[in-house]
Amino acid sequence: MHVTGYAYPWDVGPEFADRVRDLGVDEVAVAVSYHSARAATPWSKQGTSVTARYAALYRPIRDGWGRLRPAPADWVDSADSAGDAIRALAAAGIPAAAWLVLTHNSLLGAEFPEFAVQNCFGEIYPWALCPAQAEVRAFAARLTAESLAELDVRSVVLEACGQLGAIHQHQHEKTDAVWSPATARLLSVCCCAACAAGWAEHDVLPEAARALLREEVRRLIAEGDLTATEDRLPGELRAAFLSTRQRATDRLRQDVLKEIGGDRRVVLHGAIDPWVTGALPGLTPQAAHDVDAVVLPCWVPGAPTVANVAATAGSIPAAVDIGAYVTAAGPEVPDIAGYVRELGRAGATELHLYHLGLAGPARWPDLRRAVEQAHGRPT
């Protein structure tokens, strides 16, 4: 299995290359455009964390943007910290990938709510730029081009290449365990003007659709079944919602791919469930045909996750690689080598390892075991 380890620009310090070389990963994906975060820095000798207060582009921000324009990061020392990190890795003989987060941007969603996802109650999700909006697709394409400008990377990793929804960490998140899966799915249906125009192409009246959504959400909440996975919406309405979202997602991805070009390997983060929203949104039927690899979320070990990998392996073109996204920065995977072995048997051909900066000395043995297993050298 090919192994990609993830890192932030500030992780790539003087000793980083030596650690990575010793670990033996095949590639390091460096965050070039990334959302807000507070990231621990267990390897740092200067401090314990970096607070990235808002979504930022870690490359020079040149002229020519529209209303949606990325912000620079004032918590790093260089205006080109991602470029500096990638060049440092190249000088050390370590292949690098550009890791791009596209539609997850709380700063721009708050400043321009007209471009953000809107639920059936008219509530704005500022962390989620809606890909049905032409301005959002243009922003994502320009963000991709500027992220890659004059950078020598062999791979591009796409995150949030689709729609985010109701369930995502935002400020101090207080929505966990409140909504059932069915309720969260309905609250993640974007009802902005661009999406409503898409429904109209399916002969769905926007106001009537919003009213049905509100009614069904209220029913699900009132019944109080937090395990509910099904709703009572008409099938043709669900089909219109999903078709509109998938069409927008495909258009977003295609606009981004034009900026990447054909000489770089494209890796797409996504989920097998087409209704999933978030940083790893549901794969559309076309998605696997457009990219070189799809990466599935595998942070929760167990039979369902392994089965998702196997199902994807049986449903996408044989030439497309399947990546398993596994974390070694927390307690989720107690036997990481055994888990990686199961994922490989299910059809995963790549291991995407989170995270080379967040996993400090206490977690580094877990990363080592994962890499050794992925490379066929189990301990």
Q: At 224, which amino acid appears? A: G
pLDDT in tens, the chain (379 residues): 999 999 999 999 989 999 999 999 999 999 999 999 999 999 999 899 999 999 999 999 999 999 999 999 999 999 999 999 999 999 999 999 999 999 999 999 999 999 999 999 999 999 999 999 999 999 999 999 999 999 999 999 999 999 999 987 677 777 878 899 999 999 999 999 999 999 999 999 999 999 999 999 999 999 999 999 999 999 999 999 999 999 999 999 999 999 999 899 999 999 999 999 999 999 999 999 999 999 999 999 999 999 999 999 999 999 999 999 999 887 777 899 999 999 999 999 999 999 999 999 999 999 999 999 999 976 5
CATH of domain 2-375: 3.20.20.80
Q: What angle do CA 295, 297, 298 make, to 5 degrees?
A: 110
Under 8 Å between Cβ of 43 and 15? yes
Q: Which residue intervals of the chain are DSSP H helices?
A: 16-23, 81-91, 106-111, 134-148, 181-187, 193-200, 206-223, 235-260, 287-290, 303-313, 336-346, 364-374
Where do the structural domains in the chain lie, given as residue ranges? 2-375
What's the pTM?
A: 0.96
